[in-house]
Amino acid sequence: MRLRYRCPGCRTTSNIHDLGCEFEGTARTDVERAYTDLLAPLSARAYPDEGALREAVPARWSGLHAGVLSRLRADQRVVEEEDELRLLPPEEYRERVTQPTFEPLKTIYEKGSVPGAHDHSVFAVLAFYEMVGLSWEEARENTVEWLHESGTWDRGGFEESSPEELVDSKKHVYDQGYGWKQAAKEAKAVIDRRLA
């Protein structure tokens, strides 16, 4: 499983941040170092709280460290349960991330897509699974399952004859691995209008 060390503010993996990102101007290498600073101690053991983790970080605690930790927690890479702050092992993490918990992906995931939003929706769901580090096989399986369970496939409007064929036709989205945010935003707008 890959962790791509995305900017904790705008999720970019380059030096180019989104407009207004709170880490705008932060170099890629600094983002990567902040992840490494946090993941090294977290890979070794769990911590009773954030304070204990801060002390274990081999650098002076910065706003970037705090941002990366928030990002890791929001993405459920790191969880705090039973008075323990810990990094989820890959298998446990995979089980938890099958459902996006933040907008605009949450709406797409829960309500399913509607004709007119299909392209953007499938794009966003696949790119999300790529982002959280699933392999192509896992991303494909989860997306096919979503197409069925969300009612999306039953709403029709697809040229392909099966969900599997549809997902396979979008493999380039997974391979490129970027741009889900805009697609998700546009899909959510259509879904909200139709299913309001």
Alpha carbons 78 and 74: distance in angstroms, whole number: 8
Q: Which stretch binds Zn ion (CB under 5 A): 1-9, 77-85, 118-126, 157-165?
A: 1-9
* C-alpha separations of 9 from 110, 139, 182 in Å: 25, 24, 16
C-alpha 188/C-alpha 177 separation (Å) is 20
Q: Which of 3, 6, 10, 66 binds Zn ion (CB under 5 A)?
A: 10
Please identify, among the stretches 6-14, 37-45, 106-114, 126-134, the one whose residues bind Zn ion according to the rule CB under 5 A.
Answer: 6-14
- Measured torsion, CA atoms of residues 41, 81, 3, 44, in degrees rounded to the nearest 10: 20
Size (the chain), residues: 196
User: Of residues 3, 6, 13, 21, which one binds Zn ion by CB under 5 A?
Assistant: 21
CA distance 114 to 111: 9
Does residue 67 bind Zn ion (CB under 5 A)? no
**Helix and strand element counts for the chain (H, E):** 10, 2
Site string for Zn ion, 89-128 (x = CB under 5 A): ----------------------------------------
Contact characters 23-62, Zn ion, x per CB under 5 A: x---------------------------------------
Report, in Å, the least distance between residue 8 CB and Zn ion: 7
163: helix, strand or coil: helix
Q: Does 17 bind Zn ion (CB under 5 A)?
A: yes
Structure tokens at 83: 């008075």
Q: What is the smallest separation between the CB atom of 87 and Zn ion, expressed in angstroms?
A: 22
Question: How many chain residues interact with Zn ion (CB under 5 A)?
Answer: 6
* Shortest distance (Å) from residue 18 CB to Zn ion: 6
Torsion region of 5: left, alpha or beta (phi above 0 gives left; psi -120 to 50 gives alpha): left
CB nearer to Zn ion: give 17 or 120.
17
**Could you list the residues that contact Zn ion (CB under 5 A)?**
7, 9-10, 17, 21, 23
